[in-house]
Structure 1
Amino acid sequence: MSGDRVTFDFRKFFERDFFMLKFLGIYYLTENAKIGQILYSFIVSLPLMVVATMVQIINMFCVEADLRKMAASGYLGASCLMAVIKELFLFKNKKFLLNIQNDMNRSEFQPKDAEGVELVERCLSGYKKTRKVVLIVCSIAVSGCLTMPFLSSTQLLPLSAWYPFDVTYSPVYELIYIHQSVSLIYLAYMNIYIDILVSGFTTFVSLQCALLCHKMESQRNINSVKEFVIHHKWILNFVFNIEKLITEMYFLQFSACTVIFCLSWFLLTMIDVNSFEFVYLFAYQTAIGSLLLIPCWYSSEMERQSQLIPFSVYSLPWRTNTHQFKKDVYFFLLGVQKPIFINIVGLFPLSVDTFTKILRSSFSYYTVLNNMNLKSQANN
C-alpha cells in the first residue's frame, strides 16, 4: 500500500485458470506465443479433440434407427462438440480475451482503501468456493464416465463411437480406451475451465460495480464525478470485450446444452434406477447443469449489482455543491440507468432466466422424444 492507494493483482487471481487453458493447448492466450507453443496446441488438439468428436458424430448416424443408442452417442458427442466450438471461438476472438487480460489491472479498477480491498477479497472468495465445488462435481462425472466400461454390462468404452475396425481385441481395445479416456479428460476440462473463466470475468465486473458504488458512497468532499465516470466507462468496455468473446460461443453452447439435457433425461427413463449408469447420468447432468448455471448466475449477479449504481450516484453530495457539479451528476445518473448485462447474439441475456428457459425447452424436446419412443415400441 502506498498512501491511500492499494494495488490488487487481479490477473494473478485468475492465473491458475489461464494456466490450465494453456496446459490444454490454448497458448494463443498470450500475445507473444512461440511457434513451438502454437504447434503444441495443434498437436494436442487434433488427436484428442477432433478425432474423439468425429467418431462420436459418425456413430450417431450409424445408429439412427435406435433412439436409445442415438441418445447415448448424442449427449456425450454434444459435450465434446461444445469443447471444440469453444476453442475455435476462443481462437477467433482472442483479441478480446487479450484485452480482458490487459485491462484487469487498470488503475481505475483498483480499490482505494482497506474497505475496498475487503470488498474485493470477499467477492473473489465466494467465486473461489464456487469454482472448487464445480470442479469437484465435474470431476466426479468425468470419473464416472471413465469407469463406466468396468461397471456396466452394456458399454464397452467410455464414449459411444464408431471405428472402421474391431476394437474388442487386445491391444486395440486398450489403446482405444486410453485414447478415449485422455480425450474425454481433455475435452471435459476444456469445457470446465472456459466456463469457470467466463464466470470469473462476470464476477470481476460485479465486484467493479460494487467498488464503484463504494467509492461514491465513501467520499463526501468531492467537486467532480470524472473519476467515477471513467471507472464506469472502463466497466462497460470490459463487458463489451466479454460479450464479443463469448456471444457466439454461448449461443451454440445453449443449443448444445438443450440437446444434452433432452437426451440424458431420455436415457434416465430407460435405465434401472439402481444401476451405476443411472448414478453416472445423474452426476453428468449435475455437472453440465452447474457449468451452464454458474456463468448465468454470476452474470445475473453482475446485472443486479449494476442496478445499484444509480442509487450510489444519487447519494453523492450534489445538493450543496456547485451548479456544474449538479449537472455532471445529472448526466452521469442518466448514463447509468441501463443495467449492465451480456447479450448473446442480440437475442437473449446471459442470465438465470435464460438458464431456466433452456431447461424448459429441453424438457419439451424430451417429451417429444419419449413419445416417439413409446410409439415405436407400440408398433413393434
Structure 2
Amino acid sequence: MMPRISRCFKLNFIFLNVFGIWPVNNNGTCYKYYSISFVFISLFVYNLLLTLNLIYAPRKLEILIREVVFYFTEIAVTGKVLMILTKRSDILNVLKILDCKAFQGHGDMSRIIIKRHIAKYKIYWKIYALISNFAYWSQILLPVALHFVFNTTLNLPICKYYFLNVQFIKKYFIYLFIYQSVWMYGHMTYNINIDTLIAGFVIMAITQLRVLNYEFKHFNLSMKNSRNSTRNTELLELKRYLKHYDTILSYCSKIQEILSVSLFVQFGMASGIICVILCGMLLQTSKESLIFMTSYLLAMTLQIFVPAYLGSILSNESEELVFAAYCAKWVPRSKEFKTSINIFLTRANRKISITALKMIPLSLDTFTWIMKTAYSFLTVIRNIQNQQN
C-alpha cells in the first residue's frame, strides 16, 4: 500500500513544532504559552535589537553592508514564520489533498514516479540541512576555537549591538554570544524547514503532473492490456484523468494562496541582498569580508534559484499535458470522449504558474531578470565611482 505523501514532510513539522510555530493536537495549553514566548523572544525581541543595531551602526560601507545583509535576511525569515502561523489551516488542507486517493497513483509506474520524487525531496532536505548546519557551526565554533588556540579577538556572531556601550558588552559578552547563537540556530532551522517545505509543495505538484503525463501517453497501452476494454471503460478512465487534473489545479491554487506573500518577501529581500553584496565587492575589503560576501551571495542566489527552477519545471510539465493528451489517439473514439478531451485541451493550453503576490512568476526568466538587474545596478555604481575618481 502506498504510504501517505504528506509523511515526507514529517521532519519539517517536527522541527517547526519544537521551535514553537507548528502546534499539534496533543500539545495542549502549555505549548500555546511556550509558542507565544518563543516567537516573542526569537522574532520580536531579536529583530528589535537588530533594528536598533542597524540604526546605531557606524556609517561606513564595509560595516553597513554586513548589517544590512543580516537585517534583510531576518525580514525574509519573519515573512516565512508569519506564513506558517497565519496559513496553518490552508497548509493542513494542502496536506489533505496530498493524501487523497487521486494523488496516490493508479498503477505501478505511477506509484514508482511518486516514490522516486518523494525520495528526491528527502535527499534535498538532508543536503540543505547538512550545508546549513555546517555553515552555522563554522560561524560559531570556528571563531571560538581560533580565540582559544591563537588568542584572536572573539566578536558576537551576528552583530555587535552598537547601541550598547563597550563596558556593558564586555561584562555580559558570554550571555550575548549565547543569545545570538541560540536564536541564530532557531532562525536557521526556520529557513531549512520552511524553504524545503515550499520547494516540497511545488515538487509534489510536478510529481502529479508527471504521473498524469505518463498516464495520458500510455492510455492506449493500458486500454489494450485491459481485458474488458469498451467505449464505456475508456470514458471512465478519461474521467479519472480529468478528476486527477482538477485535483492538481485545486492543489496548485491552494499552494499559490499559501506561498504568494512569503515568496514575494523572499525574492525581494534576496534581490536586495545580492545588490548590496555586489556593491560591497567593489570596495577594498579584507579577505574575511570577501569570503563572507562571496558565500552569502552564493546562498542568496541559490535561495531564489531553487523555487524559480521548480516553477519553470511546473509550467513546462503542465504544458506537456497537451502533447500527452494527443498521444491518447482520441480522434477515432466516441463523441463523449472527444468532447471531454477537447474541454481538457482548452484548459491545459493555459499553463500552471505559481506567482509571488500575483506579480512575479516563479520561473528561470524571473531569476535571470533579477540577476541582470543586480548586475546593471552594479555597473551603474561602478561608473559613478569611475567618474568620481
Question: Is TM-score (shorter-chain normalized) higher than 0.5?
Answer: yes
**Quick one: which amino acid aligns to residue 158 of structure 2?**
L
8 Å contact kept, 1:303–1:340? yes
1:239 alignment partner AA: C
Structure 1 pair 269–348 and aligned structure 2 pair: CA distance change class (3 A): same
Q: Which residue of 1 aligns with 2:253?
A: 240
Q: Distance in 1 between matches of 2:275 and 2:21?
A: 31
Q: Give the TM-score normalised by structure 1.
A: 0.88
Distance 1:135 1:159, change over 3 A: same
1:143/1:372 Cα in 2 relative to 1: closer, same or farther (>3 Å)? farther
* Cα RMSD after superposing both structures: 2.7
Q: Decide which of 45, 59, 82 is 2:53's aligned counterpart.
A: 59
Once the two structures are TM-superposed, the CA of residue 308 in structure 1 deviates from its matched residue by: 1.1
Answering whether residue 221 of structure 2 is matched by residue 227 of structure 1, we say: no
Query: Are the structure 2 counterparts of residues 363 and 33 from structure 1 closer, same or farther at C-alpha, using a change threshold of 3 Å?
Result: farther
Structure 1 stretch displaced more, 52-61 or 172-181: 52-61
Aligned: 1:22 with 2:34: no
Query: Aligned AA for 2:173?
Result: Y
1:360 maps onto 2:372 in alignment: yes
State the partner residue of 2:315. Answer: 303
In 1, Cα distance between equivalents of 2:120 and 2:62? 40
Is this contact kept in 1: 2:322–2:349, CA < 8 A? yes
- Normalized per residue, which structure has more helix? 2
- Does structure 2 retain, via aligned residues, the 8 Å contact 1:257–1:288? yes
- Give 1:337's match in structure 2, choosing from 340, 349, 354: 349
Q: 1:116 to 1:310 in 2, by over 3 A?
A: same
Does residue 143 of structure 2 align to residue 130 of structure 1?
no
Q: What SS class does the counterpart of residue 235 from structure 2 fall into?
A: coil
Task: Give 1:181 deviation, angstroms.
Answer: 0.7
The answer (yes or no) to whether the contact 2:56–2:163 under 8 Å persists in 1 is no
CA-CA distance at 1:272 after TM superposition: 5.1
How many residue pairs were aligned? 370
Percent of aligned pairs with the same amino acid = 21
Unaligned runs of 5+ in 1: 2-6
Equivalent residue for 1:82, pick from 73, 76, 79:
76
Partner of 2:227: none
Taking a change above 3 Å as real, the CA distance of residues 202 and 265 of structure 1, as seen in their structure-2 partners, is same
Once residues 163 and 62 of structure 1 are traced to their aligned partners in structure 2, the CA distance between those partners, rounded to angstroms, is: 6
Report the residue type matching 2:216 in the other structure.
M
1:130 partner amino acid: Y
Q: Is 1:96 the equivalent of 2:90? A: yes
Query: d(CA) in 1 for partners of 2:385 and 2:189?
Result: 33
Larger CA deviation: 291-300 vs 260-269: 260-269
TM-score, length of structure 2 as denominator length: 0.86
The answer to whether residue 287 in structure 2 is matched with residue 288 in structure 1 is no
| Residue matched to 2:186 | 186
CA shift in 2, pair 1:369/1:86, >3 Å: farther
Distance 1:249 1:335 in 2: 28
Aligned to 1:218: 218
Question: What secondary structure, in the 3-state scheme, does the structure 2 residue paired with 1:14 have?
Answer: helix
Q: Paired residue for 1:72?
A: 66
Call closer, same or farther: CA 1:126–1:78 in 2, change over 3 Å.
same
1:134 and 1:287 in contact (8 A); partners too? no
1:148 CA drift (Å) = 7.1
**Partner residue in 1 for 2:3:** 8
Deviates more, 1:62-71 or 1:38-47: 62-71
Shift, 1:51, TM fit:
2.1
d(CA) in 2 for partners of 1:348, 1:8: 35
- Residue 242 of structure 1: how far off its partner (Å): 0.8
Distance 1:57 1:167, change over 3 A: farther
For residues 30-179 of structure 1, what are the structure 2 equivalents within 5 Å? Answer: 30=24, 34-63=28-57, 65-147=59-141, 150=144, 156-160=155-159, 161-166=161-166, 170-179=170-179
AA paired with 2:130?
A: I
Instruction: Give CA deviations for 1:288-310 in whole Å, capped at 9, x if unaligned.
Output: 22222222221211111111111
Q: Report what 2:280 is aligned to.
A: 267
Deviation readout 1:119-146 (Å, 9 max, x if unpaired) = 1222233333333333333333323433
Relative to structure 1, is the Cα distance of residues 180 and 229 closer, same or farther in structure 2, using a 3 angstrom cutoff?
Answer: same
1:269 Cα shift? 4.0
Q: Deviations over 1:11-37 (max 9, x none)?
A: 111111121222221124x57763322
Give deviations 1:163-197, integer Å, cap 9, x for gaps: 44446655500000000011111112212221111
Is the alpha carbon distance of 1:167 and 1:134 closer, same or farther for their aligned partners in structure 2, counting shifts above 3 Å? farther
User: For the pair shown, which has the larger CA radius of gyration, 1 or 2?
Assistant: 2
**CA deviation string 1:31-83 (max 9, x = no partner):** 77633222222211222222222222222222363222221111011111211
Bigger Cα displacement from structure 2, 232-241 vs 154-163: 154-163
List per-residue Cα deviations over 1:182-229 (Å, max 9, x = no partner): 111111221222111110000000000011122223333312321111
The one-letter code sitting in structure 2 at the alignment partner of 1:201 is F
